[in-house]
Chains A and B, each alone.
Chain A
Amino acid sequence: MKYLMTTAAMLSASAAWAETPVLTVYTYDSFVSDWGPGPAVEAAFEATCDCDLQFVAAGDGAALLARIKLEGARSDADVLLGIDTNLVAAAKETGLFAPHSVTADYTLPIEWNDDTFAPYDWGYFAFVHNADMDAPANFRDLAASDLKIAIQDPRSSTPGLGLLMWVKAAYGDDAAGLWADLSDNVLTVTKGWSESYGLFLEGEADMVLSYTTSPAYHLIAEEDASKAAAAFDEGHYMQVEVAGKLAATDQPELADAFLSFMVTDAFQSIIPTTNWMYPAVTPASGLPDGFETLITPEKALLLSPEDAAAARDEALAEWRDALAQ
């Protein structure tokens, strides 16, 4: 009798558990870490959805898409969150994603009208330096100076690819020439962002490819105002991070609800001081104190996903040839 009761209790417990729908979101590693947006987002969404939100972390943006491709239509993922516009074309090509129904008053410096992916945050790439240094005003000044920069390899890192697109968007056919001029300024090229930022903090490099928002971290989290981002008059290339719904999801309504939730204040207000990027929709409470000190580029550069995908191979070859000299 006792056993029966226990079994019955267990059964009903698991039945209740099974009724709570699970939404699986694939995202990059730093999103789910304790100090990333993941934990707060999970709590905020679960308070509204009566569901279980589960994040699965898979490396960085590029690894994320590779994982989805590996798993194909059988994937457990309902939502993919964390690729940027440079990878959007490749993601769409898989045919694994379904259109979204998100509408919002985006505060992006550009128009957003992609029907498959919705943005959740964005930032400008920039070279970060110590505030006491006279920074160059553009790529040509940088190339003429004897400053040493640490950049990331576009073949293994998303910011590295971003820089490639930045130079391409700003200089077009002259990109190869600019890279040739820059080659003696490149101290080194690293596998990922962490390595180059580490080199910069150690004083090895004068400047590092990062984001205009990087100084905000040092200012807000460390009360250290010694870092600044250099404003380039060619304009700054943007990174827009997006999320999309998998076509094969078994929770289509929940996935839609999550994507809609993503552009509300509850989600967006978490972003600035956890992901250290600009929210895609500035929340009613505004940006945190300290963000007003950041540079705001005159001109925002961004290649459309299709143009970025088309330009990639040529830009990569130009970059490699110029720096391999």
Chain B
Amino acid sequence: MARRARSVTVAALGGPLAAGSVFVLILVALLAVMSRADWPVTFGAADWAVLRFTVWQAVLSALCSVVFAIPVARALARRQFVGRTFLVTLLGAPFILPVIVAVLGILAVFGRAGWVSELLGLFGLPPLSIYGLEGVVLAHVFFNMPLATRLILQGWQAIPSEQYRLAGQLGLPPRTVFQTLEWPMLRQVVPGAAALVFVICLTSFAVALTLGGGPRATTIELAIYQAFRFDFDLGRAAILSLVQLVVAGTAAVLALWILPPLVLQSGLDRPLQRWDARGAPCRVLDAIWIGLAALFLLLPLSAVILSGLIGLFDMPISVWTAAWTSLWVGMLSTGLLILWALPVAAWLGQTKRGGAEAITLLGLAASPLMIGTGWFIMIYPFASPQAFAMPVTAVVNALVALPFAVRILVPGMRQSFTDYSRLNQALGLRGWPLWRIVLLPRIRARLGFAAGLTAAMSVGDLGVVTLFADPDVATLPLQMYRLMGSYRTDAAAGAALLLLVLALGMFWICDYWGRYAET
């Protein structure tokens, strides 16, 4: 009995503790901001309009991203082709680009003076205009569809290949295979992916503003920015942050609550073969989806690369030192994230309540400006905030990446526990040996992906907490914005390319480490 109790405590205590620390980090920041606020705070009709737009664009973006991601993930799951690994790695790319770089890349393709418009011009057609809700959704799909694809792809890969073999032996038609094997998986994976994208889009503001075409495309995050920066109305900033947290929290709980109970089957990790998808129409359809997704991703990315190549030799030396700093921040954040995410994922993998995962999503829904300001207020009376620049940046980066990591890890963790819990108990495996022998090898691919995503996100992050920034220690994205802010567009484009290479490189190393285990 005692033995069992101890093995339970690690996950049952460490998990809630790690997940709870997210809550505490945000709550402390919020309370600190509130402590300096002037009350009462106004929340008027204009704010309601902003809230409506924010939620609406996030819902649309999440739906479009996921709906587009399902056929792409399905095609990627059942086809092998040259460049598949490359494409799957590239799926991490849009997500980590600084907003302004990605937006300019998208506009180089879909803008008024973009490639598509030029093509239309050849046929005497008017140029494309994407400014408005459609532009916002387009950009959000560009950012998040790849992520959703990766998450859903993992769901597909979690279906044991033995089941497809069985389906093939029984000669089941594709429709039946979909109903019995794929649909239950989708019901399990899609709501979580959609919730994640929804929360990401909820806090977006530079994208919404730039492509939204004007003040009608205002999100709550802009109102928070305005309250902190221009009005210094901390009460209003706190209330708006709270509204954002409540909306994101509600959405997350709803999405994760409807996850159906799991009926997992275990397999022998054989390579996947699909007997049901051998027909020519199936192949053509898959090729079209993969081609469309590749074009949608590759065209804007090539625009970023092309403009960056010109500026690569124009970059001042400080860009390279900034790249070094970013590399450090990325590694620090990734290490921290792994220590944070593993216990949380192990805990969530053992509970039946999917709703608990919603706590981690709050880290993404909290305005970085709010967290930064809150912790600045907390630290300032005792020490120079600049001394905490690195730890705070790493913590906040890990906090933002945690929901991604958890969403990626939990399904694998849950499956490992379901499959091996009896064997573990019979063998008395617990603590470190349990992790080393059973859990880590089985979630290695997912851990690699999660770590890669965190590393890339931290490298691409614009020092979430510019309040803490030391002017001599700039990160690469910050340096890029500085170049851009002083007319040095070419050099900034070069820095953006370097950023892309660095972030993708770190992503690739981690992801490769994870997937290397599969073969």
Interface residues of A (CB under 8 A from B): 29-30, 32-36, 55-59, 62-63, 65-67, 69-71, 74, 76, 90, 148, 153, 155-156, 161, 183, 186-195, 197-199, 201-204, 214, 217-218, 221, 276, 319-320, 323-324
Query: How many angstroms between the C-alpha atoms of A132 and B487 in the bound complex?
Result: 20
- A221 vs B211: C-alpha distance when bound (angstroms): 30
A69 and B232 contact, CB distance less than 8 A: yes
* Chain A min CB distance to B450 (Å): 30
With contact pairs A35-B316, A70-B377 given, residues A186 and B214 touching in the complex (Cβ less than 8 Å): yes
Nearest chain-A residue to B482 (Cβ)?
A33
The reply on B259 being an interface residue by CB < 8 A is no
Q: Can you sample 23 A-B contacts with CB below 8 Å?
A: A29-B482, A33-B318, A33-B486, A35-B483, A36-B486, A58-B469, A62-B230, A63-B229, A63-B466, A65-B232, A66-B230, A70-B373, A71-B380, A74-B381, A155-B222, A156-B209, A188-B131, A189-B214, A189-B215, A193-B485, A194-B485, A203-B113, A221-B487
Q: Which residues of A contact B466 (CB under 8 A)?
A: 58-59, 63
- Contact with A29, one of B206, B214, B225, B485 (Cβ below 8 angstroms): B485
Q: Which parts of B200-254 form the interface with A (CB within 8 Å)?
A: 205-206, 209-216, 222-223, 225-226, 228-230, 232
- For the complex, count residues of B whose C-beta is within 8 A of A: 53
Q: How far is the CA of A236 from the CA of B380 in the complex (A)?
A: 41
Given contacts A155-B226, A156-B222, A194-B484, contact A199 B216 (CB under 8 A): no
Measured between C-beta atoms, what is the minimum distance from A26 to chain B in Å?
10
B100 & A198 in contact (Cβ 8 Å cutoff): yes
Interface mask (B15-48 → A, CB under 8 Å = 1, otherwise 0): 0000000000000000000001000000000100
Q: Point out the residues of chain A lying under 8 angstroms from B209, CB to CB.
A: 153, 156, 188-191
Interface on chain B toward A: helix, strand, loop, or mixed SS? Answer: helix
Residues from chain B with Cβ under 8 Å of A34 in the complex: 316, 318
In the complex, what residue of chain B is closest to A192 when comparing beta carbons?
B485
Q: Does B350 contact A (CB under 8 A)?
A: no
Interface pick from B103-111, B165-173, B340-348: B103-111
In the bound complex, what is the Cα–Cα distance between A157 and B381 (angstroms)? 30
Chain A: minimal CB distance from B494 (Å): 14
Complex interface bits, B480-492 against A, C-beta within 8 A gives 1, otherwise 0: 0111111111000
B112, A148: Cβ atoms closer than 8 Å = yes
Q: Judging by beta carbons under 8 Å apart, are A201 and B489 in contact?
A: yes
Residues of A contacting B206 with CB < 8 Å? Answer: 190-191, 195
10 additional A-B residue pairs with CB within 8 Å, beyond A70-B36, A197-B487, A199-B104: A30-B482, A36-B486, A70-B232, A71-B380, A156-B222, A156-B225, A189-B209, A192-B485, A193-B485, A198-B100
CB pair B487 A323 closer than 8 Å: no
CB closest chain-B residue, reference A65:
B232
Number of residue pairs A-B, CB distance < 8 angstroms: 145
**Which A residues touch B46, using CB under 8 A?**
320
Which 3 pairs from chain A and chain B are nearest by CB? Answer: A203-B113, A57-B471, A155-B226
In the bound assembly, the distance between CA atoms of A32 and B489 in angstroms comes to 18
Interchain CB contact under 8 A, A32 and B471: yes
A70 to B37 alpha-carbon distance, docked (Å)? 11
Q: How far is the CB of A54 from chain B (nearest CB, A)?
A: 9
CB of B295 within 8 Å of the partner chain: no
Known contacts being A186-B214, A198-B100, is A58 close to B467, with CB within 8 Å? yes
Interface residues of B in 180-207 (CB under 8 A from A): 205-206
| Among candidates A35, A59, A90, A319, residue contacting B215 with C-beta atoms closer than 8 Å | A319
Q: Does B376 contact A (CB under 8 A)?
A: yes
Q: Which of B112, B212, B214, B380 makes the CB contact (< 8 A) with A204?
A: B112
Bound complex: CA of A191 vs CA of B46, how far in Å? 19
Q: Which of B107-135 contact A (CB under 8 A)?
A: 107-108, 111-113, 131
CB proximity of B71 to chain A, nearest CB, Å: 31
For residue B111, which residues in chain A have a CB less than 8 angstroms away from its CB?
Answer: 202-204
In the assembled complex, the CB of B481 is this many whole angstroms from the nearest CB of chain A, namely 6
**Chain A contacts for B232, CB-based, 8 A:** 65-66, 69-70, 90
- B103, B230, B478: most-surrounded residue (chain A CB, <10 A): B230
Query: Given known contacts A33-B486, A153-B222, is B210 in contact with A66 (CB within 8 Å)?
Result: no
- Distance in Å from the Cβ of B466 to the closest Cβ of chain A? 5
Partner of B107, one of A199, A214, A217, A221: A199
Say yes or no: A190 contacts B210, CB within 8 Å. yes
Q: Is the CB of B108 within 8 A of A323?
A: no
Query: In the complex, A290 Cα to B214 Cα: how many Å?
Result: 35
Per-residue CB proximity of B364-389 to A under 8 Å, as 1/0? 00000000010011001100101000
Please report which residues of chain B, range 478-513, place their CB below 8 angstroms from some CB of chain A when the two chains form the complex.
Answer: 478-479, 481-489
CB distance from B302 to the nearest CB of A (A): 15
Closest residue on chain A to residue B384 by CB atoms: A76
- Centre residue among B107, B373, B481, B482 by max chain A CB count within 10 A: B482
* B354 nearest CB across to chain A (Å): 36
- Would A323 and B380 be within 8 Å (CB), given that A63-B229, A204-B111 are in contact? no
CB closest residue in chain A, given B319: A34
* Residues in chain A near residue B228, CB distance under 8 A: 66
Is A70 a contact of B376 with CB atoms below 8 Å?
Answer: yes
Please name all residues of chain A whose beta carbon is closer than 8 Å to the beta carbon of B482 when the two chains form the complex: 29-30, 33
Known: A153-B215, A189-B214, A203-B113. A62 touches B316 (CB 8 A): no
> In whole Å, how far is A289's beta carbon from the nearest beta carbon of chain B?
18
- Are A324 and B376 neighbours in the complex by a CB distance under 8 Å? no
In the complex, what distance in Å separates the CA atom of A202 from the CA atom of B467? 31
Least CB separation from B209: chain A residue:
A191
The one of A62, A71, A221, A323 in contact with B216, judged by C-beta atoms closer than 8 angstroms, is A323
Contact between A323 and B214, CB atoms less than 8 A apart? yes
Task: List the A residue with the shortest CB-CB distance to B307.
Answer: A202
How would residues 403 to 439 of chain B score, 1 for a CB under 8 Å from any chain A CB and 0 otherwise?
A: 0000000000000000000000000000000000000
A197–B466 alpha-carbon span in the complex (Å) = 22
Chain A contacts for B100, CB-based, 8 A: 194-195, 198
Chain B residues within 8 Å of A202, by CB: 104, 107-108, 111, 113
A-side contacts of B212, CB under 8 Å: 188-189
